[in-house]
Amino acid sequence: MKRLLLLILLLLLLAAPASAIDLKLAWNPNAEPDLAGYRIYRSTAIGGPYEQIGQASVTPEPGFTWPVPPLTEATMYFVVTAYDTAGNESGYSNEASIYMDNVVPGAPQGLQITIIIQPPGAP
């Protein structure tokens, strides 16, 4: 099985805090003739444990788009496996990670106004 490579493309719109963003995961296709698809896993800890977040079909350029929930602040780790028509599943691909800070900062508090009166002729 060819070495799978995950590429993560991230688009952040800073002008729209707390808006939903998507991660696009892509990897080199598996060339086995009985390939049925791919399973995508993520974790918030390096090396897992991983939870399955989806599946991808066999296409000329396999990939997966995952919507990142709003109010997320964490490093996320992703791996992919391939599975065949008999249900056999490969080991994990290399791990790819991204740090997400999707949390809107709190509003400043304690705003005050101070009046400063300058005497006439003061610089």
Q: What is the CATH number of the domain that holds 28?
A: 2.60.40.10
pLDDT at position 119: 85
Gyration radius (Cα) of the chain, Å? 23
Q: Residue 116 is encoded by which pair of tokens? A: 């400063």
Q: Does 68 reside within a domain?
A: yes
pLDDT at position 35: 94
Q: Does 32 reside within a domain?
A: yes
Q: Does 15 reside within a domain?
A: yes
Over residues 32-86, the pLDDT tens digits come to 999 999 999 999 999 999 999 999 988 877 888 888 776 677 899 999 999 999 9
Q: What share of the chain is helix, strand, coil (3-state, %, to 5)?
A: 0, 40, 60
Q: Does 71 reside within a domain?
A: yes
Q: Residue 104 is encoded by which pair of tokens? A: 């809107």
Give me the amino acid identity at 81: T
Q: Does 90 reside within a domain?
A: yes
Q: State how many domains the chain has.
A: 1
pTM: predicted TM-score of the whole model, two decimal places: 0.66
Whether residue 5 has pLDDT greater than 50: no
Separation CA 4–CA 8 (nearest Å): 13
Q: Does 87 reside within a domain?
A: yes
**Maximum pairwise Cα distance, the chain:** 90
Over residues 99-122, the pLDDT tens digits come to 888 777 889 999 999 998 888 877
- Quick one: average pLDDT of 7-15? 30
For residue 21, what are the domain limits?
A: 7-101
